[in-house]
Structures are given as structure tokens and as C-alpha cells.
Amino acid sequence: MKKTNFFSVGFIFILMSFIVMSPSMAQAEMKPVELSFAGTFPPKASPYKKAFLPWSKEIEKQTNGMVKVKFYFTQTLAKDKDQYDAVVDGIADIGWMAHSMKTGRFPLISVMELPFLCSNTFVGARVLGELYNKYPQMRKEHDDVHVLFLWTTLPYEIHTTKKPVRKLEDIKGMKLACPPGAAATLQMLGATPVTMGLADVYQAAQKGVTDGVAFAWGIFKARKIYEVTKYHTNIHLGGLPYWSAMNKRTWNKLSPDIQKTITKITTDMMPDTLCRAVTGEMQKGIKIVKERGQEIIEVSPEERARWVAVSKPAYDKWVKVMEAKGLPGKAVLNDALILVEKYSKK
């Protein structure tokens, strides 16, 4: 009769026990992950208070404190123009910024920068999201980061210091501070764009470096632009696309469960929470300038049609540039126009 090797049996039992126990032991030994978020906004800004802060708290809650987001405000980790590279290189784990701050890096995404394409942040965000999901070429433009979500701003308007803009002729020759994505439109309309980040807008208008600014209402309260402008022309020049992304190496180090949790929370909350936040900020900004006795100029549909007509050649030019790069410019633009109409009716 063969003798049982009790040593072997005991060893196998211990080994099996360890295998069964190891996942829970590993989980117990996991240390909380702190993700750095390179914010260009101040801590009182609505995108932080009403969107990114609640988003980060929900992530912390649903991961049982295993993932925390630490915000670095007002360009502490990276300047506006360096945000994307900071996320790619791991200087910041997470970032959020306009695509146009990285000149030439996102050609197809720039369809959302075309003049008068979209006059609503909710519509713009949905259009951009659908285009991104449909076109692999758009996704390839972001292949060195893990995209969390995409967004489109409120339309940027014209806010001037001394001279009101009531008709197309009034803007000609004006020096206007603007984000890079708005420069081509302003130039086509006859203005002189002066591209800069949000942090520099106030001083530029205050010191007379510019005659005003072309930015969305959403920045007014946090950046106090109302202190250096007097006239506000609602013309809805267009929105600007934004990305929010995570460093790929950081993302890949997270467990599949945590990745799934972050993805679900982000899908549930963004970009709608951000759209609501800046819309609320727009209303506050309008209220402030009215209380200060400043003039808000509502351009008539007939006058706005003149502006749109002047800017239309930008569409054909954009398609030609994209097609010359071997990109499906015509198809993307056609889809964008169809989607804008679709979501504008909802």
C-alpha cells in the first residue's frame, strides 16, 4: 500500500489557502492613489466648484477612498499652452484645456472651432462626442493620452472697453484678446486677434493692450472681466472644443475595477455637469454687468446673417486643408452640421 506523503499534502493545502486569500490580502494592502489635476482655473471658478470637484468627490466615494484627486489651481503645474504635454509626460495625471492651445495637434477636432457652427454648450458637447466616437482619425489625435471626456464651451462673445460693437463694420481693426481657436474667425471678420490664455486677459484689457476680449460669458465672474469692459455684444461667434484626459501610464496602473468606476462616473456626470456649471456662470456674469450699468447689445438676426455670410468661406477652406492632409474633412463637416441641427431641436 502506498504511503501518503503528509508533507506534500500539507504544502498543497497551504499553497491553495494562500491563492484563495491573496486577492483580498492584496486589496487590503493597496494604498490610496492620489491623482494630480493640473487646473488652470482659480478655486472659485464654476468649472471646479460645480463640475470637477463633485466629480472628484464621487470618484473618492465610489472607490472607498482608494482614489483621490488633488487639484493644482491657476497654472501651478502647467501653463495653458503646456497642459496637454504635461499630461502626456506625466507632470500631471489629469488635465483639462482647449484643444486649440496645442496648435496643429488636433486638426479634425478643429471643426468645432468653425465660426457660428454651434451656439450652445450642450449641443456642442453632444456633437463633439458623437464625432469622436464615429471617426477613428479623431480618436487617433488623442492616442497619447486616455481621454476622459470631450466638451465644447459656451459661444464666445465680444466684450469691449471703450467702443461698442453694434454692426459688422464696428469690429474692423479692433484688437481683441482671444483663445487661439477663435483667432481665424476674428481675423476673417476684420478684427486683429491677440491670442492668450485666460490668466492674461484681464491685464491686456485693463492696460489697453487690447480693445476688448472675445471670450465666453462663463469666465466673467471668476476672472472679473466686467471690471475692465463696458460693452457686451451677443453675437455667438462659436464654441471651442476642450479635452479632459489622464496620463496613459497612470491610467494603466489603475485596477480594472477602478478604471470601470471612473469611466462610469465620468460618463454619468460629464460633460453635462460642466455645461450646467458654465451656463449658470453665464447668467451670473450677465446679471453683474447689468447691475454695473453696462450695455448688453443683442444683435438682430438680419445683422448676424451678415457676419455669418462673411465667415462662410472658412468652411470650404477648412475642408480643403483637412483633405490635403488625407483626413475626411468633408464627411466630418457634413456630420457636424447634421448633428448640430439634430441636437438643436431637442
DSSP assignments along 21-54, one per residue:
HHHHHHHHHPPPEEEEEE--S-TTSHIIIIIIHH
Q: Are residues 234 and 312 in the same domain?
A: yes
Residue 22 located in a structural domain: no
Q: Do 148 and 165 lie in a common domain?
A: no
Residue 171 carries which side chain, given as an amino acid letter? I
Do 35 and 145 lie in a common domain?
A: yes
Question: What pLDDT is recorded for position 21?
Answer: 40
Of the residues 279, 308, 330, the one at which a domain ends: 279
Question: Do the domain assignments include residue 14?
Answer: no
79 and 205 both lie in a single domain: no
In a domain, 74, yes or no: yes
Residues 144 and 170 in one domain: no
Q: Do residues 244 and 149 make contact, with C-beta atoms less than 8 angstroms apart?
A: yes
Query: How many C-beta atoms surround the C-beta of residue 343 within 10 A?
Result: 17
Q: Does residue 165 lie in a domain region?
A: yes
Q: Do residues 60 and 68 touch, judged by C-beta distance below 8 A?
A: yes
Instruction: Assess whether pLDDT exceeds 60 at residue 6.
Output: no
The pTM of the full predicted model, rounded to 2 decimals, is: 0.88
- CATH number of the domain to which 132 belongs: 3.40.190.170
Check pLDDT > 70 for residue 8.
no
| Claim to verify: residue 138 and residue 246 sit in the same structural domain | yes
Contact 213, 192 (CB under 8 A): no
3-state secondary structure of 170: helix
Residue-wise pLDDT for 16-55, tens only, equals: 444 444 433 334 446 899 999 999 888 988 999 999 999 9
In a domain, 252, yes or no: yes
Q: Residue 311: which domain range?
A: 156-239+288-344
Q: What confidence tens digit (pLDDT) does each residue in 263-296 have?
A: 999 999 999 999 999 999 999 999 999 999 999 9
The share of the chain scoring above pLDDT 90, in percent, equals 83
Residues 39 and 50 in one domain: yes
Question: Does any domain span residue 18?
Answer: no
Distance (Å, whole) CA 65 – CA 200: 37
Q: What is the pLDDT of residue 313?
A: 96
Share of the chain above pLDDT 70, in %: 91
Contacts of residue 227, defined as CB under 8 A and 6 or more positions apart, other chains included, come to 202, 206
My answer on whether 181 and 141 are in the same domain is no
Do both 233 and 251 map to the same domain? no
| 112 assigned to some structural domain | no
Q: What is the mean pLDDT of the chain?
A: 91
Q: Distance between CA atoms of 344 and 118, rounded to whole angstroms?
A: 9
Number of domains within the chain: 2
Q: Are residues 253 and 265 in the same domain?
A: yes
Q: What is the pLDDT of residues 303-317, one digit of tens each?
A: 999 999 999 999 999
